[in-house]
Amino acid sequence: MRLWGMVTATVKAKPTHKAAGWTPKAQKSLVQPTSLQPMAPLLVDPKTITPAETRRAPGPLEGIEPNRRRKIAREYAPLDARLDLHGLDQDRARPVLEAFLRRAWEDGHRAALVVTGKGKLGVGVLRARTPEWLADPALRDIVAGVSPADKRHGGDGALYVALKRRPPKV
């Protein structure tokens, strides 16, 4: 306690802003509001406008079954196809992804690894958009599920894509 008493005896309070004639910035630079210009009359009656039809977004894809995902992660089940989307913008990445998955499915592959990258600051455009593209009706007939990849395969910057079985050739 003596030590604390010695410390408090040598400490002086800092001068406050009010004592130094301080005023807030908001009071210093008050700007008078300008008068608003009258609005132009509407050319269309708002009551007759009907809302545009909204495009129904596809539902989220199922994740890969836990046992199958574990086998893929531990490489007991082969990762038959791999695609790296690094360096592609989203306009180019989507058709490349669709063509890659169609080709892998036609070749009879059951699992694919799609590397999107994490993006800057962990918010990558491809990382966010790839699950949406995989849930799109164009790929729903071949994609069974999607799950984040294991660390050894890219972690958060990659996805496991489970492909459906191809129907037998007749």
Contacts of 135 (CB under 8 A, 6+ apart): 58, 59, 60, 61, 143
> Could you identify the residue written with the tokens 């294991």?
150
Q: For residue range 1-18, list pLDDT tens digits in order.
A: 788 888 888 888 776 666
- Please name the amino acid found at residue 63: G
112-145 pLDDT per residue, tens = 889 988 877 667 888 888 888 888 888 888 988 8
Q: How far apart are CA 23 and CA 144, in angstroms?
A: 65
Residue 34 has pLDDT above 70, yes or no: no
pLDDT digits (tens, 9 = 90+) for 57-76: 555 567 777 777 788 787 77
Domains of the chain: 78-163 (3.30.1370.110)
